Structure 1
């Protein structure tokens, strides 16, 4: 699941989307040549994969905590 589509934490999704758009804009504006641009695009792809992994782990943690709270609350 892409971070920008994350339904659990909309504020985080908005922040990640803004960061990606800003970074992508900077990469495209750079006139450092094809090698530099290619390296930056690779770094951007790595950053996006990392962000998606963080969001996935946060989602799993939130779900785990929600289950634990539900189990501890009587009558739920």
Structure 2
């Protein structure tokens, strides 16, 4: 189960739009910074293929300026 965290930078003036778009994916949890125009994004998917598909969908969002991976790990199934 891959769990990854990202910093998501919106296009100027479109932070709320980006947050709404990211929250529409059930594998995403979004936390906005209080003093910066940046979002913390945590994804939790079933496998690497699902994670890659989700990442492609996220990168296609028009209000996203930059997505930067901060941390990631994969817990193998028992």
Q: TM-score, normalised by structure 2?
A: 0.38
Radius of gyration: which is bigger?
Answer: 1
More strand by share: 2
More helix by share: 1
* More RCO (CA 8 Å, sep 6+): 2
